[in-house]
A and B are shown apart, each in its own frame.
Chain A
Amino acid sequence: MRENNNFDKMNDGADGKDEGKETLLSEEKNSAAGAEKDCLDWLDEEIPVQSENGGQGRENSAKTAGRDKKRKRRENPDIRDGVRYNKKGEVAIFQPFTVKDIVFLAIIGAAALITSAVMPLVAQVPIFGLPQLVTGLQMSVFPTIGLMKVRKTGSVFIVSLLVSVLELFMAPAMGVTSLISAIIIEAINILTFKGYRKDIACFVSGMLINPMTLPFYYLYCMAFETDSIFFKAAGDSPWVAVGISVAVIAVCALGAGLGILISREIRKAGLMKK
């Protein structure tokens, strides 16, 4: 390890370490009481306490006022025990995300990403549906587990966003399409289930994450890969495309089902507290 000058200086006061603990204690105390100038001084500086709007002094008053208004609007709905209620007193569709939720979804994203590490390579292979087929299981098992724990509208979008920001660099088309399809999935969920309170809602959304990108992928292939022989088969006969899509959906349904089973079991074991 590289030695640091600061540390050398600091260590001078602590050399009596081996002469028994009593010397160690007293010497330490003495050195601290003495006028020794060391790096610890920086730690003693008071932390400037800032008001909620303080930030870095970067905002002007107009901005602050706008933010205040916004916050008021946001705080208006009644939040009890971390659950937001709308004006009618029902549980609202959009629930606030806690740090815990975000961390869990991010870890889920990491799990999905690492298990589909082949994706950036496969995504470049212009065979219709191949990337979805290869990553179908992983991209449904883990997000479903995520949904079963964080049952909030927007969870699918957050997982997709976190994963796709990294995908964007590797396979831009894939990243953009998975973002758009995540929004569609959330919309479908709001329209049909109004949130993820039921397991079936988690199942449907978890299952749809991958197949939902298929139509976009179809368009992409049509636009850029028209002369590619890999795609010709699907282009010539729509039934090939339909067949592949059905296979992808089947794989993802299996994955989402597994995700539900596993999370139920984990919850029964008491690990998945809300």
Chain B
Amino acid sequence: MNAVEMKNVRFAYTKDTWVLDGVDFTAEYGKITLLSGMSGDGKSTLLSIICGIIPNMTPGTLEGDVTVAGRDVRGMKAGEISRLVGCVLQNAELQIVQSVVEDEVAFGCENLAMPQEMIEKRVKAACAMMELDPSLKTRTLSGGQKQRLITAATLAMGQKIVILDEPLANLDKEGTHTLMTALRRLAGRGYCVIVSEHRLDMVLPYVDEVWNICRGVVRKVEDKQAYLHSQAEIISDGCAPYNGGRPVLTLSGVTKKFGRREILTGVDLTVYEGERLLILGQNGCGKTTLMRIIARLEKADGGKTEQFIDKKLGKRRACRRWFREVGVVYQNPNYQLFMPTVRREIEFGAESKEYADEIMDMFDLHSLASRHPQSLSEGQKRRVSIAAVVASRPKILLLDEPTVGQDYAGLQRLTDVLGKIHERDNNTMITVTHDLRPARALCDRAVLIEGGKVVKEGGKELVKEYFTGEE
């Protein structure tokens, strides 16, 4: 018996826009099944159907047959399905209710009314498997630990079918290994494990079956390696080679600690005018912190940061004028969008309406002009937030993961536009990305951060080495 079977499944959140269209999908006991695909292609939707979120908690139109553990999910209550399927959702940080690790892990068991001794054993087992100390305070955990905690909280409930939606989002290499080994052990014991993940290279060595989802259609992948290579269509760089310039920013010996955790241990970095600098590194290595220090959103604990953009900008304070010169695009676009329409969002920072129009043209936003920014998809929001920041013509542009949620075509357009604007304004671009596809097209020079330091510096060849060489 297959753990999960879907036959000709169609699903739409709103009428007639089918997110899933004719999906046939199976997952077996004793195997790890990977569901791969870009954001927005329907991965989460498919998983939500299996674990009963759809149609129980999120309404929509569902057609076709869905069988989970041999039972038709239709008509089953969420409470019943939660006894069959364990589900680890994205954004672990937003799911932690309790203040101590063991209580959080016990929460699901309490809901299933397990006897006290049983809960105790399960909490211990699940914490051990995820390498967590049960007595830790949840508030002090790192992002990776939080992800492992939420996973432990689900595993402790002991369902034979376990679903994990993008479980590696906050994990570094070690954390990934811990998690994936634990999942392998579960699969070895006859559990059915379904994982969705877009970072293929990280998970492929651990999984048994691979399914690809693309525009609402699912197909099984037979040759894993060929698939891995086919996914990495590289976007080529359209810009002229960089000719060098004067330094605009220097960091020397910059350190930063959060509590007891040392994030940066002494970064030395010079940024030159008009270059495109790419910052590479594993999750949790301090890339975002480094960006925040450069953007003056965070103060370094030690070391020296200097800017040579404009003397009037001073040394420390991030004043209004500073952010006119230095454009910052957040990792999460939701924080930066606040106007009632996309057009007004772009016009807010633009020097003139004509320029805003031009920017909207470049970013292909005219069709969205009258939409509310918060009503857009994540990929569209990101495009709008980049456009809105670019519209104020910053001399230095900081981009933190600008390409998440973009499909290939969107990605190509975005990279092109960023390149065009870079050539026209001769701005300095500093980018952090996990995405292999646009990395080379966003880079004149790359630095690799490891252990809170710059360990390697190079050109496009470093990007290649980082993404394909060592992994």
Contacts and interface: CB of A to CB of B under 8 A. Distances in A.
> Is there a direct interface between A and B, measured as CB atoms under 8 Å apart in the complex?
yes
Interface of A: 1-2, 4, 6-7, 10, 13-14, 17, 21, 24-25, 28-29, 31-33, 39-45, 47-50, 54-56, 100, 265-266, 268-271, 273
A80 to B, nearest CB: 14
A270 B371 CA distance: 11
Contact of A47 (B57, B155, B158, B372): B158
B236 interface: no
B129 A39 contact: yes
B144 to A, nearest CB: 11
Given A4-B128, A33-B188, A268-B372, A44 B57 contact: no
Given A6-B128, A45-B118, A100 B57 contact: yes
B436 to A, nearest CB: 20
Interface in B91-119: 112-115, 118
Max count, chain B CB within 10 A of own CB: residue among A24, A25, A49: A25
A6 B125 contact: yes
A40 B186 contact: yes
Top 9 closest pairs, chain A to chain B, by CB: A32-B188, A21-B205, A39-B125, A269-B375, A6-B128, A269-B372, A269-B374, A42-B125, A42-B121
A40 B121 CA distance: 10
B188 A48 contact: no
B124 to A, nearest CB: 7
B70 interface: no
22 contacts: A1-B131, A1-B133, A6-B124, A6-B125, A10-B129, A25-B208, A28-B184, A28-B185, A32-B188, A33-B188, A39-B128, A39-B129, A40-B129, A40-B185, A40-B189, A42-B118, A42-B122, A43-B122, A44-B158, A47-B158, A266-B374, A270-B375
A4 B125 CA distance: 10
Contacts of A100: 57
Contacts of B206: 21, 24
Contacts of B186: 40
Contacts of B128: 4, 6-7, 10, 39
B83 interface: yes
Contacts of A1: 131-133
A48 B113 CA distance: 8
B375 A271 contact: yes
Contacts of A265: 340, 372
A31 B205 contact: no
B352 interface: no
Contacts of B184: 14, 24-25, 28
Contacts of A42: 118, 121-122, 124-125
B177 interface: yes
A20 B3 CA distance: 28
B257 to A, nearest CB: 18
B73 interface: no
A262 to B, nearest CB: 11
Given A4-B127, A10-B129, A266-B374, 6 more contacts: A17-B181, A32-B189, A39-B129, A44-B189, A47-B112, A100-B57
Interface in B304-356: 340
Max count, chain A CB within 10 A of own CB: residue among B57, B128, B208: B128
B131 A54 contact: no
A81 to B, nearest CB: 10
Nearest to B145: A1
B285 interface: no
Nearest to B224: A21
Contacts of B156: 43
Contacts of B115: 48, 56
B304 to A, nearest CB: 33
Nearest to B120: A42
Max count, chain B CB within 10 A of own CB: residue among A2, A39, A100: A39
A55 B205 contact: no
A161 to B, nearest CB: 17
Contact of A54 (B113, B124, B185): B113
A49 B177 CA distance: 34
B131 A43 contact: no
Given A4-B128, A33-B188, A50 B375 contact: no
A54 B158 CA distance: 20
A4 B101 CA distance: 15
B188 A31 contact: yes
B125 A43 contact: yes
A14 B181 contact: yes
Contacts of B131: 1, 4, 7
Given A4-B127, A24-B184, A29-B188, A47 B83 contact: yes
A42 to B, nearest CB: 4
Nearest to B123: A42
B336 to A, nearest CB: 15
Nearest to B376: A269
Contact of A56 (B113, B121, B129, B177): B113
